[in-house]
Amino acid sequence: MREEVLHHLDCHPGGIYVDGTVGMGGHAAAILESIKPDGILVGIDWDEDSLHIARGHLAPFGNRVILVKGNFADLPLISQELRFEKVDGVLLDLGISSYHLEQSGRGFSFKQDEILDMRIDKQNPLTARHIVNRFPERELEKIIREYGEERWARRIAKVIGRQREREPLNTAVQLASLVASAIPRKFHPANIHPATRTFQALRIAVNRELENLARAIQGVVSLLKPGGRLCIISFHSLEDRIVKRKFQEMEQTGLLGERPVLRRITRKPIIPSPEECAANPRARSAKLRVAERLAA
């Protein structure tokens, strides 16, 4: 949805934009192109390996790009450290990238024989391996039910509980086959691996993804100039619900419960074209929502 993002961010030369999830720099490069010759892009990512890749890809843009390792939920702090006050637009393209799934070696994918780590920030003390081996079964069940929206959470947590009494669960493929064995075959989903929801749940729990998103929206809004845009691409219903609700709240009441601070530009989320979904199957569940900062 690169074109839609560029259009809705309302990119213009001379502006300052933030890509809070710079990843490998795809969106960032497109933004930098559209704000030349003098627009600045601040690119943030929580994963230093991704940032390293982005640094290489974005090198041609020279000092128009500033890359920072950090959590987008800390944007107000990051902006203070970098001494920029207000920005013209912010993009958050949530979740993880193909780099994480295919090359990071951190057990994000049920297809890879890798240690169950799932940390975006490698300094985070909590890993998926710790959750599956150490969290009480009830808590594990809750995580899988709430963050995975998985109806078989109880059975999955029980099977994991039994397995870890025999020996610890270490790898992504081990977990994937255990989860598949916990769900009766006739209830295996048609289009996705039966462990997809459990993997999503663990990733959300390890990286506190929903808390970070809610905190980020609050922080970003205080950083936008009047007329500045916030574009958020989400990939599952839990994220989209938070974005939708936060935008609605801020349109109605404002940050401190007084005047509204946001105007929703999209009432309904923008979704990728069938051509984009065919070219990139991961885009299938993407939803873009856009809001604009109102004058204080």
Ligand X SMILES: C[S@@+](CC[C@H](N)C(=O)[O-])C[C@H]1O[C@@H](n2cnc3c(N)ncnc32)[C@H](O)[C@@H]1O
d(CA 153, CA 146): 9
| Sheet containing strand 16-19, strands side by side | 65-69, 40-45, 16-19, 87-93, 224-234, 287-293, 262-264
Judged by CB under 6 A, which of 41, 96, 160, 224 binds ligand X?
A: 96
Nearest approach, Cβ of residue 253 and ligand X (Å):
25
What tokens appear for 156 in the block? 């999955």
Nearest approach, Cβ of residue 78 and ligand X (Å):
10
What tokens appear for 69 in the block? 């390792």
| Residue 76 in contact with ligand X, rule: CB under 6 A | no
Judged by CB under 6 A, which of 43, 95, 107, 228 binds ligand X?
A: 95
| Residue 269 in contact with ligand X, rule: CB under 6 A | no
Chain centre distance of CA 116: 19
Question: Looking at 40-48, 80-88, 136-144, 221-229, which segment touches ligand X (CB under 6 A)?
Answer: 40-48
Q: Quote the DSSP letter at residue 25.
A: S
Q: Which amino acid is at 291?
A: A
Nearest approach, Cβ of residue 274 and ligand X (Å):
21
d(CA 279, CA 143): 32
- Furthest C-alpha separation in the chain: 62
Question: Looking at 44-52, 111-119, 143-151, 192-200, which segment touches ligand X (CB under 6 A)?
Answer: 44-52
What tokens appear for 61 in the block? 């843009």
Q: Which amino acid is at 78?
A: I
Taking the least distance from each CB to ligand X, the nearer of 46 and 199 is 46
Judged by CB under 6 A, which of 35, 65, 97, 286 binds ligand X?
A: 97
| Residue 24 in contact with ligand X, rule: CB under 6 A | yes
d(CA 216, CA 275): 31
For residue 37, count CB atoms less than 10 angstroms from its CB and return exposed for 0-12, middle for 13-18, buried for 19 or more.
exposed
Taking the least distance from each CB to ligand X, the nearer of 95 and 107 is 95
Assess contact for 155 and 183: CB atoms under 8 A.
yes
Judged by CB under 6 A, which of 72, 108, 147, 199 binds ligand X?
A: 72
Assess contact for 234 and 228: CB atoms under 8 A.
no
Judged by CB under 6 A, which of 93, 150, 239, 292 binds ligand X?
A: 93
Instruction: Name the strand (E) or helix (H) holding 251.
Output: helix 237-252
Nearest approach, Cβ of residue 33 and ligand X (Å):
13
# residues contacting ligand X (CB under 6 A): 21
Judged by CB under 6 A, which of 44, 87, 157, 182 binds ligand X?
A: 44
Question: Looking at 71-79, 81-89, 152-160, 176-184, which segment touches ligand X (CB under 6 A)?
Answer: 71-79
Nearest approach, Cβ of residue 200 and ligand X (Å):
14
| Residue 270 in contact with ligand X, rule: CB under 6 A | no
Taking the least distance from each CB to ligand X, the nearer of 220 and 261 is 220
| Residue 239 in contact with ligand X, rule: CB under 6 A | no
Q: Where are the alpha helices (DSSP H) in 24-125?
A: 26-34, 48-58, 75-82, 98-102
Nearest approach, Cβ of residue 123 and ligand X (Å):
13
**Residues within the interface to ligand X (CB under 6 A):** 20-21, 23-27, 44-47, 50, 71-73, 93, 95-97, 120, 212
